Structure 1
Amino acid sequence: MMTRSNSRGAIWLEKLAPNASRINSLCPSVQVADADLNGETVRFISVVPDANNHYPRATQGEVGLLEGWTLAKVVNETIDSDANSNVKRPIVAVIDVPSQAYGRREEAFGIYQALAGAVGAYAKARLAGHPVIGLIVGKAMSGAFLAHGYQANRLIAINDKGVLVHAMGKESAARITLRTVDALEKMAATIPPMAYDISNYATLGLLSDLLTINNPDAPSDADLALVEITVQKAISDARKDPSLKNRLGAENRRSSALVRERMRVAW
């Protein structure tokens, strides 16, 4: 049975694919809809909360075993369906994921394999010619972001305090670094890769666009129009240049670009 929620992922999926039927036979936490955008069919994929999830650690929109394998299934089926098409269908990952699912069962049953399956499917789609766009509307945290969205040709984010990107939550990072959360936040203010806010993340050069809209939780027609136009542009750009070179242009990626340059010379 299809479920609805008030998560940003669910809200934006509904806005981008209004009244579109969801693909059946999937776990309720992975919502997939095909909708028209600029005259072509686009596949929108979002991970949403499911209070009745079989795995209790994956009830709040986390990416767990079911979600990882289902994302892999959906994306691979998209690739297979378009195998003989000259123009590959765009895939838009609508991203609002608080974490991967932490639990003993998840570890025992191989969550690393499930998430790797999702990563591999998105990468395969990108390399097969599908424009893969990641639209960050909420949290993009830890392994969940790696599994759902980070493999995109282009990443777009909403400029809002509710949009966070990081390898782990603040409380966990504070414990690992033997700091308080307040001390961690002060350190992050001077070290962009340690920060959580999207404006600092943007300085790393990983975003193709950072959008300021009126209300991410209740998008207006103008908000939706801006996002749709930006996604259309990202799709066009990805078809012209499907590489990830666009991620290396920022000042805070200068060392990354230098390492790659020296490796090319050495090899």
Structure 2
Amino acid sequence: MSSTTEQRGLNWFKALTAGSTSVAGLPASLRVADSRLGNQPVRYLAVVADALNPFPRARNGEVGLLEGWGLAKAVDEAIEADAGLEQKRALIAIVDVPSQAYGRREEAYGIHQALAGAVDSYARARLAGHAVVGLLVGKAMSGAFLAHGYQAQRLIALRDPGVMVHAMGKAAAARITLRSVEELEVLAASVPPMAYDLNSYSSLGLLWESLSVEQPVQPSANDCVRVQDCLIQALADIASGSKDLRSRLGATNRAASSQVREMMRAQW
């Protein structure tokens, strides 16, 4: 069963925002709520499945036109409302997204601009002093993850087989590489960027922390406390560091990334 069918993102959103104030004026496929985490004001954001979405390609939790622009709106509102405040609210992106919404209408109406708008808003929020944390509770796939969560200074993932990170689904990746799914899995075992599991993703230096919980699909009270404690630690870690994403460099399988940056600095 896929994580979006299980509605992991929605379940975790409801659990972490119980009693919080929901933000109105957004599409039904986007849940946003303001709350507090420890002494820090936070805004939780999640893209969820909506069977009545007017765009059929975006009915199973994909990030499409409405979702991209909706995320941009929700983040921009936080930036504008907190401008000038010493303590700006943190943005917690709850990630369970199987893909961007592929479709002819989406392409014609500029899905690239909608998703770029979401990325731009998250990046501007981070540079404006908002801590941004990505909480991976299900699938984090393709352009959907790039638009929702990937701009976070810290990425936290539940340690569960249902949590997967990749540029595309296995069936699509197999077609692109002219392999069967089984052959793709054999290749992924030796090439970390091709793998879907958290251990391989962590070896790229992109994951700040992973957590084992009792109920990854429908979180228990203990699960919520554990995740909230980890989020608080992440926010404290961000507060003591820089606003950029340099913490992702330095991992064993990111040596080339560091080398490229050194060469670019030398030339520019």
Please name the residue that 2:160 is paired with: 160
> How far, CA to CA, are the matches of 1:16 and 1:249 in structure 2?
32
Which residue of the partner structure matches residue 206 of structure 1?
Answer: 206
Q: Secondary structure at the match of 1:137?
A: strand
Amino acid at match of 1:266: Q
Q: 1 or 2 for the larger relative contact order (CA 8 Å, sep ≥6)?
A: 2
Show CA shifts across 1:21-70 (max 9, x none): 32111100000011121023210000000000010000000000000000
Residue in 2 that maps onto 1:259: 260
Q: 2:85: which partner in 1?
A: 85
Structure 1 residue matching 2:76: 3-state secondary structure:
helix
5+ long unaligned stretches in structure 2: none
Amino acid at match of 1:78: A
CA displacement at 1:6 relative to structure 2: 4.8
**Matched ranges for 1:1-267 at <5 A:** 6-241=6-241, 242-267=243-268
- Give the distance between the partners of 2:13 and 2:261, measured in 1 at CA: 37
> Which amino acid in structure 2 is aligned with residue 68 of structure 1?
G
Task: Give the partner amino acid of 1:246.
Answer: S
Q: Deviations over 1:107-129 (max 9, x none)?
A: 00000000000000000000000
Query: Distance in 2 between the 1:236 and 1:206 partners?
Result: 18
Shift in Å, 1:211: 1.1
Q: Distance in 1 between the 2:40 and 2:246 partners?
A: 26
Task: Please report the TM-score for the alignment, with normalisation by the length of structure 1.
Answer: 0.96
Q: Distance in 2 between matches of 1:259 and 1:34?
A: 39
Secondary structure in 2 matching 1:35: strand
One-letter identity of the residue aligned with 1:20: S
The answer to whether the 8 A contact 2:205-2:253 is kept is yes
Q: Deviations over 1:226-267 (max 9, x none)?
A: 211111111111122122111012101112112222332333
> For the Cα contact (< 8 Å) 2:21–2:35, is it kept in 1?
no
In structure 2, what is the Cα distance between the partners aligned to 1:259 and 1:55? 40
In the TM superposition, residue 102 of structure 1 has moved relative to its aligned partner by 0.7
Worse overlay, 54-63 or 206-215: 206-215
**Most deviating of 119-128 and 218-227:** 218-227
Q: 2:210, 2:246 → 1: CA distance?
A: 18
CA RMSD across the alignment: 1.2
For 2:263, give the aligned amino acid: R
- C-alpha separation in 2, matches of 1:174 and 1:98: 16
**1:15 alignment partner AA:** A
2-structure distance, mates of 1:22, 1:51: 21
Could you tell me how far 1:222 is from its partner in structure 2?
2.3
Name the amino acid aligned to 2:42. V
Q: TM-score, normalised by structure 2?
A: 0.95
State the secondary structure of the residue aligned to 1:219: coil
**8 Å Cα contact 1:159-1:199 kept in structure 2:** no
Aligned length: 263
